[in-house]
Structure 1
Amino acid sequence: MSLDTVVEDIRDEARARAEQIRSDADERADRIVADAEADADDILEERQQAVEQQIEQEREQTLSSAKLEAKQMRLEARRDVLQDVRETVEQRIATMDEGREDLTRALLDDAATEFADDATVHVYGRADDEALLTDILADYDGYDLAGERDCLGGVVVESERSRVRVNNTFDSVLDDVWEDSLRDISTELFDER
């Protein structure tokens, strides 16, 4: 075997070895690239899921906030309507003429049961009802008109002797009726059947 042949065999072997190393390196590089692409795809999918989940959470929160705000606005509107109704009722009671004397007498009679033994009973009422109260009190011995009260009508009756005060104003009656009937009023106004 000649030296040229040996050198050529070594070169061929070196080339084959280099080709094998290059081929192994290419395969390894391809595997690394494939693994990196797979990892990138996994990371991308995870991020997309996280973003979609965050979007869904924010959508739910926004929807929930909007529903709560709408509910609060409805409640405020209802409260405003009920307040308007209450104010209208108060205005009508304050300006009513028909039945005012009978209602005032009934409230005074009811209060008078607390003061049966008292010699002097003080009655207070609305300033606009002074003449009406004076006429009514003429029928009651020991009862005097003692002053004004800021109210829609009716009477506040008290006696120094018994230390009792009875509030039989239209306001107090309206408060009781309003409280007892608020659910029915709301049902009627807002058709909650």
Structure 2
Amino acid sequence: MSLDTVVKDIREEARARADDIRDEAEEEAQSIIAEAESEAEEIVEQREREVERTIEQEREQRLSSAKLEAKQERLEARRNILESVRGSIESELAALEANREELTRKLLADAAEEFDSDAAVDVYGRADDAELIESILEDEAYDGFTDAGEYDCLGGVVVESDSSRVRVNNTFDSVFEDVWDDNLREVSERLFEAKNEHDG
């Protein structure tokens, strides 16, 4: 075997070995690149999921906040409507003429039952009802009852006696307050059911 042949064999073996090393290196590089790309994809997907979660949380928070705000606005609107209805009724009570004397007599008679027959009793009423109250107190049944002046109310009477330390508030306001409180749920249901049916 000549030296040229040996050199040639060594060169070919070195080339083959170099090709093998290059192939292995390329394979390893491809594997590293594939792994890096896979990890990068996972990181991107994870970030996307985190962003989507954050967006969903913010959306839910905003939706929840908007719902709460809408509910508060609805409640405020209902309160305003109820206050308006109540104000209208109070105005009608203040302006009531037809049964005013009959109602005032009834309220005073009911209040009078709380006092002893010999008690000195003061009767207060609305300034506009002063003449009406004075004329009612002229009845014999109200001997010892005195018109004591003005009380800020829609009508009716406030009756009190120092001797018995009793005070009875039989004003239109107090009666209306009781009726309003007792029927508020029903009034509200009727008002807003009717409104919802009309809207629907």
- Tell me whether the two structures share a fold, i.e. TM-score over 0.5: yes
C-alpha contact 1:118 1:159 (8 A) present in aligned 2 = no
Structure 2 counterpart of 1:178, one-letter code: W
> Does 2:190 match 1:188?
yes
C-alpha contact 2:156 2:171 (8 A) present in aligned 1 = yes
User: In structure 1, what is the equivalent of residue 3 of structure 2?
Assistant: 3
Structure 2 counterpart of 1:119, one-letter code: A
Question: Following the alignment from structure 1 to structure 2, what is the Cα–Cα distance between the partners of residues 19 and 118?
Answer: 131
Please say which of residues 60-69 and 23-32 is displaced more in the overlay. Answer: 60-69
Deviation at 1:48, TM superposition (A): 1.9
User: In structure 1, what is the equivalent of residue 69 of structure 2?
Assistant: 69
User: In structure 1, what is the equivalent of residue 155 of structure 2?
Assistant: 153
Q: What's the TM-score once normalised by structure 2's chain length?
A: 0.91
Deviation at 1:85, TM superposition (A): 0.4
* Deviations 1:38-85, CA, capped at 9 Å, x for gaps: 111112222222222222222222222222221111111111000000
Please say which of residues 57-66 and 81-90 is displaced more in the overlay. Answer: 57-66
C-alpha contact 1:118 1:161 (8 A) present in aligned 2 = no
C-alpha contact 1:125 1:148 (8 A) present in aligned 2 = yes
User: In structure 2, what is the equivalent of residue 50 of structure 1?
Assistant: 50
User: In structure 1, what is the equivalent of residue 104 of structure 2?
Assistant: 104
Deviation at 1:31, TM superposition (A): 0.2
> Does 2:93 match 1:93?
yes
Question: Following the alignment from structure 2 to structure 1, what is the Cα–Cα distance between the partners of residues 114 and 29?
Answer: 105
Give the superposed CA RMSD: 1.5
Question: Following the alignment from structure 1 to structure 2, what is the Cα–Cα distance between the partners of residues 69 and 166?
Answer: 43
Alignment of 1:119-130 (within 5 A): 119-130=119-130
Q: Secondary structure at the match of 2:143?
A: coil
Question: Following the alignment from structure 2 to structure 1, what is the Cα–Cα distance between the partners of residues 21 and 152?
Answer: 106
> Does 2:34 match 1:41?
no
Structure 1 counterpart of 2:145, one-letter code: Y
C-alpha contact 2:119 2:164 (8 A) present in aligned 1 = no
Deviation at 1:164, TM superposition (A): 0.8
Q: What's the TM-score once normalised by structure 1's chain length?
A: 0.94
Structure 1 counterpart of 2:156, one-letter code: G
Q: Secondary structure at the match of 2:167?
A: strand
Question: Following the alignment from structure 2 to structure 1, what is the Cα–Cα distance between the partners of residues 106 and 185?
Answer: 27
Question: Following the alignment from structure 1 to structure 2, what is the Cα–Cα distance between the partners of residues 7 and 137?
Answer: 145
Unaligned runs of at least 5 residues, structure 2: none
Question: Following the alignment from structure 1 to structure 2, what is the Cα–Cα distance between the partners of residues 115 and 43?
Answer: 88
User: In structure 1, what is the equivalent of residue 134 of structure 2?
Assistant: 134
* Deviations 1:133-191, CA, capped at 9 Å, x for gaps: 11111111000011211111111111011111111111000000000111111122112
Query: Taking every aligned residue pair, what percent have the same amino acid on both sides?
Result: 63
Deviation at 1:19, TM superposition (A): 1.4
